């Protein structure tokens, strides 16, 4: 009997000890106050998660407006009879052809190329990346101020820049503000529609004072040859400005 009594007392003591442990206590509905350090740590963690799961500006799917749509087969077929440049893309001679099959590349001011001045275009204006976006090309093929759209994208592009590597080709270089976006675009074929041609006169005037540079000289003399031959429409005006866009 004495042994049973001692066992009962031992069991009672053990239960009392267990009931004092935190995992045996009922959950409290009273919120715990956080220290300033804990609050700051949780806040920064929440901010990081928000950034992780929120899409960055400009990083969209093809249907969402980042990458161009597929080139129409009829546009490719129409271009198949034309001479090609060194990249195998058609060379268009008439301004009347506004739907075009082109090779596009991508560039960014963050590449810090020699000769490039920050985010300034060859026109001396700020490179655009909004509803209206900047593009670079051989100005003797796409005169400064040329406005076009890319199939599958909601933006309007304006030729306000050039690059030495573009001269003699039909490639259009699409501006992106970051290296990540630039690399995502990479090199890809696209179908464009020229909304409005730029000014050949303004192009010649801008290039005339830069002929000491080989690529500018090539564009200048090619531009003057087109103007003198009467193969292009002389529009005059401001050309490079797009006030109505």
In angstroms, rounded to a whole number, what is the distance separating the alpha carbons of residues 236 and 199? Answer: 6
Do residues 226 and 200 touch, judged by C-beta distance below 8 A?
yes
Per-residue CA distances from 171 to 40, 159, 166, 199, 209 (Å)? 50, 12, 6, 19, 24
In angstroms, rounded to a whole number, what is the distance separating the alpha carbons of residues 225 and 227? Answer: 6
Classify residue 13: in a domain, yes or no: no
In angstroms, rounded to a whole number, what is the distance separating the alpha carbons of residues 156 and 130? Answer: 9
Classify residue 153: in a domain, yes or no: yes
| pTM for the predicted model, two decimal places | 0.70
Classify residue 102: in a domain, yes or no: yes
Do residues 79 and 101 touch, judged by C-beta distance below 8 A?
yes
CATH of the domain at 110: 2.40.40.10
Residue 175 lies in domain: 73-198
Classify residue 204: in a domain, yes or no: no
Classify residue 240: in a domain, yes or no: no
* 172-229 pLDDT tens trace: 999 999 999 999 999 999 999 999 999 999 999 999 999 999 999 999 999 999 999 9
Beta-strand runs (E) in 8-137: 99-107, 132-136
Classify residue 32: in a domain, yes or no: no
- Our count of domains for the chain comes to 1
Classify residue 130: in a domain, yes or no: yes
Q: Which are the contacts of 112, defined by CB distance < 8 A and separation ≥ 6?
A: none
- Written as six digits, the tokens of 118 are 């920050």
* 130-141 pLDDT tens trace: 999 999 999 999
Classify residue 15: in a domain, yes or no: no
- Written as six digits, the tokens of 79 are 């271009």
- CA nearest 144: which of 241, 244, 243? 241
H or E element, residue 147:
strand 147-150
- Written as six digits, the tokens of 2 are 């004495």
* 31-83 pLDDT tens trace: 334 344 544 443 443 333 233 223 333 334 444 568 999 999 999 999 999 99
- CA nearest 160: which of 195, 142, 135? 135
């Amino acid at each position: 009997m004495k042994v049973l009594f001692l066992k009962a007392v031992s069991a009672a003591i053990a239960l009392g000890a267990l009931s004092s442990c935190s995992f045996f206590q009922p959950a409290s509905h009273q919120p715990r106050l956080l220290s300033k350090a804990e609050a700051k740590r949780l806040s920064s963690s929440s901010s990081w998660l928000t950034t992780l799961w929120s899409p960055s500006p400009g990083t969209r799917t093809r249907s969402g407006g980042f990458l161009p749509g597929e080139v129409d087969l009829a546009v490719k077929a129409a271009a198949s009879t034309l001479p090609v440049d060194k990249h195998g893309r058609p060379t268009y001679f008439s301004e009347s052809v506004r739907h075009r099959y082109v090779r596009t590349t991508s560039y960014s001011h963050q590449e810090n190329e020699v000769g490039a001045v920050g985010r300034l275009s060859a026109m001396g204006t700020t490179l655009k990346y909004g509803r209206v976006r900047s593009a670079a090309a051989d100005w003797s093929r796409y005169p400064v101020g040329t406005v076009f759209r890319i199939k599958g994208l909601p933006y309007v592009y304006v030729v306000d820049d050039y690059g030495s590597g573009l001269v003699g080709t039909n490639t259009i270089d699409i501006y992106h503000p970051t290296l990540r976006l630039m690399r995502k675009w990479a090199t890809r074929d696209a179908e464009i529609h020229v909304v409005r041609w730029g000014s050949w006169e303004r192009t010649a005037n801008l290039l005339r004072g830069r002929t000491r540079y080989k690529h500018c000289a090539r564009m200048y003399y090619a531009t003057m040859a087109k103007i003198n031959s009467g193969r292009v429409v002389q529009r005059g005006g401001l050309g490079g400005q797009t006030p109505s866009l």
